[in-house]
Amino acid sequence: MHAVRCNGQPPRGITMRMAPPNLPTKVCATCGRTFAWRKKWARQWAEVAHCSDRCRSRRNRKEKTELETRILILLAQRARGATICPSEVLPDEEKQDAERMDSVRAAARRLAHDATIDILQRGVVVDPDGARGPIRLRLR
């Protein structure tokens, strides 16, 4: 296991997404990020749905489906091929709430992994797990 530096970044030369090759992966049902098999899950890998205890503890949050639905409704109201900014999903008073914005981005990642939407940066479709900085969402 590589230590994470205090700035939240992995050690130099190691990317967050680097996992030993050939290990099975899944998409976390809460944060929407891909995670790899771990030895501690050897016996129950088929049932594992979350990357961490934090994500598992948030599995039943009502906001998960609520935010996915809001993203899809907003996109359905736009012209075909149009994009939205994730913050458009939130009411004005929540747009500065970092945790709420994280929840919207997680909902977008889940939808992107389900192949329902694309996540774009600078007009290019990006890997949902790797997007840092501003993103836009588009129905696939």
Which spans of this chain sit near Zn ion (rule: CB under 5 A)?
28, 30-31, 51, 55
Could you tell me the smallest distance in angstroms from the CB atom of residue 55 to Zn ion?
3
Could you tell me the smallest distance in angstroms from the CB atom of residue 130 to Zn ion?
15
Asked whether the beta carbons of 25 and 32 are under 8 A apart, the reply is no
In the complex with Zn ion, the residue whose CB is nearer, 35 or 75, is: 35
CA distance 130 to 40: 25
Could you tell me the smallest distance in angstroms from the CB atom of residue 131 to Zn ion?
15
Q: How far is CA 47 from the centre of its chain?
A: 20
In the complex with Zn ion, the residue whose CB is nearer, 30 or 103, is: 30
Q: How far is CA 131 from the centre of its chain?
A: 9
In the complex with Zn ion, the residue whose CB is nearer, 67 or 75, is: 67
The sign of the CA dihedral 37, 34, 70, 53 is positive
Could you tell me the smallest distance in angstroms from the CB atom of residue 22 to Zn ion?
22
Which residues are within 8 A (CB) of 107 and not within 5 positions of it... i.e. 6 or more apart? 32, 64, 67, 68, 71, 89
In the complex with Zn ion, the residue whose CB is nearer, 30 or 84, is: 30
